[in-house]
Amino acid sequence: MLQAGLYENIVVAGADIISRFILSGFQSFQAVSDEPCRPFDAARKGINLGEAAATMILSVHQPAESATELKGGGISNDANHISGPSRTGQELYMAIQQAMGEAKVKPEQIDFVSLHGTATLYNDDMESKAVNLAGLQSVPVNSLKGYYGHTLGAAGLVESVISVHGLSKNTIIPTKGFAIPGTAENINVCSTLQHAELKTCLKTASGFGVVMRQWYGKKRNTVF
């Protein structure tokens, strides 16, 4: 809508709370861990649920202070199962390809990837396969859900906000709960706080049957 000139500014908000209905749904999948979640770890048992709210403002105008540029995005639907991700990671890879194409970036230009990382067996395996298909297996990746759980409808936006802050502070946040690699394909899971010159981040967010990907690239005094 911004690119089409329909609006100049858009406020994007996301929020979610835990309810008995939501909890019972994930329990029926046997997807809820009885201990703090461990994204990408060999001993991962499932998700923790969390509550959160976040807001992001997208604008075609240059702000007075430095901001982050939204460079591109992609979406795919794996049509695999009503509540289970594709086992191949191919569909997530397709969405990543779309985002990379729109952003006009190559794998070697990505500084870190903020993955969905739910700590369920199938999601983390699927993401590891997609990361390898995209040629990003050497790029540092993290999951933030070990800090506050899976915030469901707010997760993609909360983690996008944190990723933007990571870019601005040149900081990659470690994956809380991760100790021993345990995904189907090898990925470079960030397990300690890292500081480096960061310019481009890939953020992934997945839902039942639908996967969405967004690109963020740091660019001073501009936000799109």
pLDDT at 214: 54
Structural domain count of the chain: 1
Q: Give pLDDT tens digits for 45-63.
A: 999 999 999 999 999 998 8
Average pLDDT on 183-204 reads: 97
Residue 3 resides in a domain:
no
pLDDT at 77: 81
Q: Is the dihedral of CA 89, 128, 17, 193 positive or negative?
A: negative
Residue 224 resides in a domain:
no
- Of 144-148, 206-210, 212-216, the poorest mean pLDDT is in 212-216
Q: Give pLDDT tens digits for 118-164.
A: 999 999 999 999 999 999 999 999 999 999 999 999 999 999 999 99
Domain span at residue 32 reads 9-219
CB atoms within 10 A of CB 3: 7
Residue 4 resides in a domain:
no
Residue 63 resides in a domain:
yes
* Distance spanning both ends of the chain, measured CA to CA: 11
Helices (H), ranges, 40-80: none
Residue 1 resides in a domain:
no
pLDDT at 206 over 90: no
Identify whether the C-beta of residue 174 lies closer than 8 Å to the C-beta of residue 45. no
CA distance 167 to 70: 12
| CATH number of the domain that residue 152 is part of | 3.40.47.10
Residue 137 resides in a domain:
yes
